[in-house]
A and B are shown apart, each in its own frame.
Chain A
């Protein structure tokens, strides 16, 4: 690691490689092959084992794992919807769903079944093709993001060398689906919601991308697995603590991510009290369910990305302690961020459109640019991550937090921006 300078000296990393993942297939299949060689073959009959097609077996094991993955990831929203309802209920002195299954655990399943049987209404005056297409665009994009998220050491669908870039690109396509849904519904509320959403997602993509850039500058790679690998030395090697600028970047990333997935206080595109249900007002039945599932999948995805980029991914808090390949740790960290999102949602009111844009363009983007500059300087001063650099970084973060805490009262009581008229 010779600092970020090499990145500028060799700008020639080949983007097109991203379309042909540069992974060494054999290397990636090692664990499956080892499983067959060491566990399976010794148990087979003598003659059969000698002729066992190892390559084919390896492929089959991989397919089986992929099958489990593909089956499990869509179930995440089901769990998250229930979790959201339970969390909200606890915040509000209620119990939440209690009837279907023990403690209401099967409620989402029942809701899903109900939605499947509901009438699939298509507005007769709307644009039928786009109306039908929109939920699939959103659904597909939400789940395509999971392909590049390393759940653990071994569970990573595709290790692109431009992983984070791919995630940014794919998640931007969601806004197309939202606009399609809003336009084709032939409803003014849907249109308002989708245009709000377009403005919001396009705006917040900028601070989001810029804060990712600080991480990329420090790691010198866009690959998700390399970003995780660079945080393998315990909690203080996590990128959030690596420099004071990544610490700020984490918060900008997380807040922008909440805006990206349209959750309170940034849930303007589907602000119930203002524009009914926003872009999915006219959708019913399973198509509505697709939007709903996509929303919760998104929520998990952005949390997982935040964990991967800033909170060590599947790496444990202590170096070398990756229980079960790091998956439980990863999921716990992600769910903690998801819980934080839910907490915010059930506590805060909603911003207005102009305030939302002010926050993005007047505060987040300048701070994000400042972060990039700062990360550059940091990279010049500390080309390598040493004990000294981490101690200095943590000291600055600690001082910054104390200063922020003392002036927080005054910031909270800040005079709001003047009204537009």
Chain B
């Protein structure tokens, strides 16, 4: 044991050039968005190489899952991308439901009302997630105030989530076959009407705020100087690294699972998929930090649009949970991907017909995007590293799992 350690330490021994400085950025650092550790080889302020080291938040999600029944795994998915936990619940449930649909004898289907609630809550969750991304990105670039504005608005969303599932961060709301009924909301009741009214009040308040934030930060000339033209990720590069979600669309690839591979009831709603374009008057080119950031700002508007359509239609009647005796998917395997706020969240599940999965693998969008950091950061400055990390919007809980 002792010997192995010694050889390992020899392998990772640092051999800086004479004019190089090796700096550890993280795992305790104000703007590595959690516990990312970067090994920076600096030539003055210029970064020769930034090597990400991950694993500081590894909690054995995949191994744990093998010893838990399917419903018990859902709270673990909350802890993956903890700022968009609803979407993580959903991604996992979608995969399990897909697997269960294969067993035609069960005649399993998610009720209509649950589908509407899922889309409603997950799109609100997407707004909350992008708000956090916007706020922390402002802080990374040095503007502290947008951070508090973003948290002020996110707080209202968290209160809405709390009202429907009792939790502010780790919801465990979306269950296999429907949504949680822990706080009952009868169809057509005054409770439901009040809740939908509250969401509408939030949207009425929030939609003009997006334009305000664009004025405050997006078009700020110092902000554009810091982010436009920095770390350009071409469409080819984004595809080859497996970048998804806003990072992929920020590189100009028009791809959104909600539209191109519609799951749940997304095909019933109208929404645009924002794709980055060159903005010459601000100096932005497709694939730079500013484009990735801007996609998120635009997506918030689109999410609000989807929520408004649900509010206009109203929630359908019926149960919120499918009639399930037990979650026991048939023997088989499934890979299902859904569009989480940070990109394509995939779950690969192998089932042997027992209540526990044989293997669960999470495909994390943040992990793929983070792998591009090393190539993106080459030759830039220390301050740019921060700008890149913020713009690819990683959550370490999901990277490490």
Question: What's the Cα separation between A349 and B223 when bound, in Å?
Answer: 6
Report the nearest B residue to A419, measured CB to CB: B229
Q: Give the nearest-CB partner of A267 in chain B.
A: B142
Whether B23 lies near A349 (C-beta < 8 A) is: no
Per-position binary interface string of chain A over residues 222-246, scored 1 when its CB falls under 8 Å from any chain B CB and 0 otherwise: 0000000000000000000000000
Q: Are A419 and B142 in contact (CB under 8 A)?
A: no
Complex CA–CA separation, A355 to B31 (angstroms): 21
Taken together as a complex, chains A and B put the C-alpha atoms of A274 and B383 apart, in Å, by 6
The answer, yes or no, to whether B217 is at the interface (CB within 8 Å) is: yes
Would you call B67 an interface residue if the criterion is a C-beta within 8 Å of the partner chain's C-beta atoms? no
Q: Tell which of B46, B220, B379, B383 touches A271, judged by Cβ atoms closer than 8 Å.
A: B383
Chain A residues closer than 8 Å to B148, beta-carbon distance = 92-94
CA distance A354 to B44 in the complex (A): 12
Interface segment out of the listed A4-12, A45-53, A123-131, A410-418: A410-418
A38 at the interface (CB under 8 A from B): no
Asked if B149 CB lies within 8 Å of chain A CBs, one says: yes
Give chain A residues whose Cβ lies under 8 Å from the Cβ of B205: none
Contact check, B142 vs A265: say whether CB atoms are below 8 A apart: yes
Listed stretches B78-86, B114-122, B133-141; interface member: B133-141
- Residue from A91, A265, A275, A412 in contact with B382 in the complex, judged by beta carbons closer than 8 Å: A275
Contacts of A418 in B (CB 8 A): 229
In the complex, how many angstroms separate the beta carbon of A388 from the nearest chain B beta carbon? 39
Give complex CA distance A274, B229 in Å.
Answer: 19
Chain A, residues 178-216, CB within 8 Å of chain B (1/0): the string is 000000000011001000100000000000000000000
A420 near B46: Cβ-Cβ < 8 Å: yes
Q: Does A30 reach chain B (CB closer than 8 Å)? A: no
Return chain A residues, CB-CB under 8 Å to B21.
Answer: 188
Q: Scoring B residues 360 to 401 as 1 if CB is less than 8 Å from chain A, else 0, what string do you get? A: 000000000000000000011111101000000000000000
* Cβ A354 vs Cβ B381 within 8 A: yes
A276 in complex: contacting residue of B30, B226, B283, B383, CB < 8 Å: B30
Task: Give which listed residue, B31, B140, B228, B380, contacts A416 with CB less than 8 A.
Answer: B228
Q: Is the CB of B225 within 8 A of A355?
A: yes
The one of B23, B30, B141 that contacts A188, using a Cβ cutoff of 8 Å: B23
CA distance A275 to B31 in the complex (A): 9
A85 at the interface (CB under 8 A from B): no
Decide: B381 and A420 in contact? CB cutoff 8 A: yes
B331 within 8 A of A: no
Chain A residues lying within 8 Å of B283, measured Cβ to Cβ, are 415-416
Instruction: Please judge, given known A-B contacts A352-B384, A415-B283, whether A192 and B45 are in contact too, CB under 8 Å.
Output: yes
B222 within 8 A of A: yes
Looking at the assembled complex, report how far the CB atom of B111 sits from the nearest CB atom of chain A, in whole angstroms.
41
Total number of A residues with any Cβ neighbor in B under 8 Å? 39
- CA A88 – CA B139 in complex, angstroms? 14
In this complex, what residue of B is CB-closest to A345? Answer: B144
| B381 neighbours in A (Cβ, 8 Å) | 352-354, 420
Q: Which residues of B contact A354 (CB under 8 A)?
A: 45, 381
Digitize B199-218: 1 where CB-to-A-CB distance is under 8 Å, 0 elsewhere.
00000000000000000110
Q: Which residues from chain A contact B265 at a C-beta distance below 8 Å? A: none
**Set of chain B residues within 8 Å of A92, measured between Cβ atoms:** 144-145, 148-149
A399 within 8 A of B: no
A288 within 8 A of B: no
Q: Is A37 an interface residue (CB 8 A)?
A: no
Structural contact, B145 and A352, CB atoms closer than 8 A: no
Closest 9 CB pairs of A and B: A350-B142, A273-B31, A349-B143, A92-B148, A349-B141, A416-B225, A349-B142, A352-B383, A413-B281
Q: Which residues of B contact A (CB under 8 A)?
A: 21, 23, 29-31, 42, 45-46, 138-145, 148-149, 152, 216-217, 220-226, 228-230, 280-283, 379-384, 386
Please list 6 pairs of residues, one from A and one from B, whose beta carbons are closer than 8 Å in the complex, sorted by A's number: A188-B23, A348-B222, A352-B225, A355-B225, A420-B46, A421-B380
Q: A350-B141, A354-B45, A415-B280 are in contact. List 9 more A-B contacts (CB 8 A).
A: A188-B23, A196-B45, A273-B31, A273-B141, A275-B382, A348-B222, A353-B383, A412-B221, A419-B229
